[in-house]
Amino acid sequence: MPETLFINATLARLDRESGYGLCEHGALLVEAGRIAWLGPMSDQPAVGDAEVIDCAGRLLTPGLIDCHSHLVYGGDRADEFEMRLEGASYAQIAQQGGGILATVNATRAASEAELFEQSLPRLDALLAEGVTTFEIKSGYGLDSDNEIKMLRVARQLERERKIRVQKTFLGAHALPPEYAGRSADYIERVCDEMLPRAHAEGLVDAVDVFIESIAFSLEQGAKVFDCAQALGLPIKAHAEQLSDLGGAVMAAQRGALSVDHIEYLAADDVARLAQSETVAVLLPGAFYVLRETQLPPLAALRQHKVPMALGSDANPGSSPITSLLLVMNMACTLFRLTPAEALRGVTINAARALGLQSEIGSLEVGKQADIVLWNAAKPSMLSYQIGINPCAAVMQAGRWRNQAGLEK
Ligand code: DI6
Ligand code: FE
């Protein structure tokens, strides 16, 4: 693999406790798929026959990381969107077979090939904005075969596009219709059959549970975590999205990688999160689409230095969004994150939320060379603009993935 030397770059290294870690007039050397050196051009080491990329002052960041998505699913829910705007209530839509269960039906009905074909454009939209690592959850199959089918599609997307996909088992996302009124039985099935089978196929990097009044209880969540941890798998939780059931603290006390949504997390509980390494994953896309008004406890998260990450939450119901740049903008506008917090949220802190911080998420010597060159001179541009894609070129593990905007 040839060496690549970037020169005249504005490096956002994301290598410190806060801020961008900017280095202007910087250079960065890639060797054997890893970052071999970076720093001011004035200190640049001599290199042999490396490919030299003159960035002309433009910005280089680590590859973006979408640490929370449900982008593998069948069908869409545009009709429901339309019905709601024409005055139908959520309950009416549910009675007509809408909501999560509509997506469960469409996902179950789709073959693996159809699911792949439907999911690829969503993945490609995120890829085009410089995303190099994805997390993709199951959770619309809700039985062994269909959960495994979803995770196989996630693996196939990873292989097809030569990206990194972390696969998360979310069997406890909703109660399938055949278990109506028998949620304890379903959780037993998740623990005794569905999760062990998916894990045996090597399809599970982490286990997530939707702990919510409309989904599973705190005790049921804890039970699934017991099973996950007995298999040696990391855990994470959808928690405190619509109400405060204590899911985030319970998950953090068990060493969860992340707790996600957390709009209803009490500020007083944030100190308890800070006692673990758990990352707070904020999902402004769902907040926007559901027109929520309860903000996550941002002041407390900052005060206790809980790392904050951002995800697309790409899903057909509450977040039909496949733009991580738009999510960064929403995080700034709706949650009042600073642009530096937003960029950290889709790089180093997103890496932490996936347990991959020693490998990706910042520009540091030894890390995998996942690098984006932007048609922008400063990092605030990434959060500021809506509807333009400034991604010029993407390198993944030292190989060019998209170099359309690259001038050599
Ligand atoms: N929280 C959400 O907002 C989505 N899932 C979840 O756990 C909703 C998913 C959907 O409506 O399809
Ligand atoms: Fe989600």
pLDDT score of 46: 85
Q: Find the 371 Cα to ligand 1 centroid distance in Å.
A: 31
Q: Could you please report the per-residue DSSP string of 180-224?
A: TT-HHHHHHHIIIIIHHHHHHTT--SEEEEEESTTSB-HHHHHHH
251, 239 contact by CB (below 8 A): yes
Q: Which residue's CA lies nearest to atom 2 of ligand 1? A: 318
Q: How many percent of the chain have pLDDT more than 90?
A: 93
Over residues 58-86, the pLDDT tens digits come to 999 999 999 999 999 999 999 999 998 99
Arithmetic mean of pLDDT, 306-328: 98
Residue 96 has pLDDT above 90, yes or no: no
DSSP code, position 387: S
Arithmetic mean of pLDDT, 258-283: 97
Of the residues 79, 93, 100, which should be mutated to test ligand 1's pocket, given the most ligand atoms within 8 Å of the CB?
Answer: 100
Q: Find the 362 Cα to ligand 2 centroid distance in Å.
A: 25
Model confidence band, residue 30 (pLDDT cutoffs 50, 70, 90): very high
Structure tokens at 158: 């990873």
Tell the CATH superfamily of the 4-63+361-402 domain. Answer: Urease, subunit C, domain 1 (2.30.40.10)
Q: Which residue's CA lies nearest to atom 8 of ligand 1? A: 318
Distance CA 46, CA 61 (A): 23
Of the residues 240, 258, 318, which should be mutated to test ligand 1's pocket, given the most ligand atoms within 8 Å of the CB?
Answer: 318
Q: Which residue's CA lies nearest to atom 10 of ligand 1? A: 317
Residues with Cβ within 6 A of ligand 1?
100, 103, 173, 210, 238, 241, 286, 315-318
What is the phi/psi pair of residue 194, to 5°?
A: -65, -55
pLDDT score of 91: 75
Please, what's the b/e burial string for 139-175 (b: 16 or more CB within 10 A of its CB; e: otherwise)? bbbbbbebbbbbbbbbbbbbeebebbbbbbbbbbbbb
Q: Which numbered atom of ligand 1 lies nearest the CA of 212?
A: 7
Q: Residue 20's Cα: distance from chain center in Å?
A: 20
Q: Find the 151 Cα to ligand 2 centroid distance in Å.
A: 15
Over residues 180-198, the pLDDT tens digits come to 999 999 999 999 999 999 9
Amino acid 125 reads: A
Distance CA 106, CA 120 (A): 16
Structure tokens at 293: 């008004």
Q: Which ligand neighbours the alpha carbon of 168 most closely? A: 2
pLDDT score of 286: 96
Model confidence band, residue 241 (pLDDT cutoffs 50, 70, 90): very high
What sign results for the dihedral spanned by CA atoms 332, 351, 260, 131?
Answer: positive
Among residues 400, 407, 351, the alpha carbon closest in space to that of 53 is found at 407
User: Is CATH 1.10.3720.10 the classification given to domain 65-353?
Assistant: no
Arithmetic mean of pLDDT, 211-231: 97
pLDDT score of 89: 82
Total-model pTM: 0.97
Judging by beta carbons within 10 Å of its beta carbon (0-12, 13-18, 19+), is residue 268 exposed, middle or buried?
exposed
Q: Which numbered atom of ligand 1 lies nearest the CA of 100?
A: 12
pLDDT score of 125: 97
Residue 44 has pLDDT above 70, yes or no: yes
Arithmetic mean of pLDDT, 43-72: 95
pLDDT score of 144: 98
Arithmetic mean of pLDDT, 258-269: 97
Residue 163 vs residues 63, 276, 308: alpha-carbon distances, Å: 11, 29, 23
pLDDT score of 95: 77
pLDDT score of 98: 85
Over residues 148-180, the pLDDT tens digits come to 999 999 999 999 999 999 999 999 999 999 999
Q: Which ligand neighbours the alpha carbon of 174 most closely? A: 1
pLDDT score of 48: 83
Q: Which pairs count as long-range contacts for 119-122, CB under 8 Å and 24+ apart, including other chains?
A: 119/71, 119/72, 119/73, 119/153, 119/157, 120/157, 120/160, 122/71, 122/314, 122/322
Q: Which residue's CA lies nearest to atom 4 of ligand 1? A: 318
Q: Which ligand neighbours the alpha carbon of 312 most closely? A: 2
Arithmetic mean of pLDDT, 227-249: 97
Q: Which residue's CA lies nearest to atom 11 of ligand 1? A: 317
Q: Which numbered atom of ligand 1 lies nearest the CA of 210?
A: 7
Distance CA 20, CA 16 (A): 8
Among residues 330, 319, 238, the alpha carbon closest in space to that of 280 is found at 238
Q: Find the 210 Cα to ligand 1 centroid distance in Å.
A: 9
Distance CA 90, CA 98 (A): 9
Over residues 343-399, the pLDDT tens digits come to 999 999 999 999 999 999 999 999 999 999 999 999 999 999 999 999 999 999 999
pLDDT score of 408: 59
Residue 406 has pLDDT above 80, yes or no: no
List CB-based neighbours of ion ligand 2 within 5 Å.
Answer: 313
Which residue ranges make up each domain of the chain? 4-63+361-402, 65-353
Residue 1 has pLDDT above 70, yes or no: no
Arithmetic mean of pLDDT, 141-153: 98
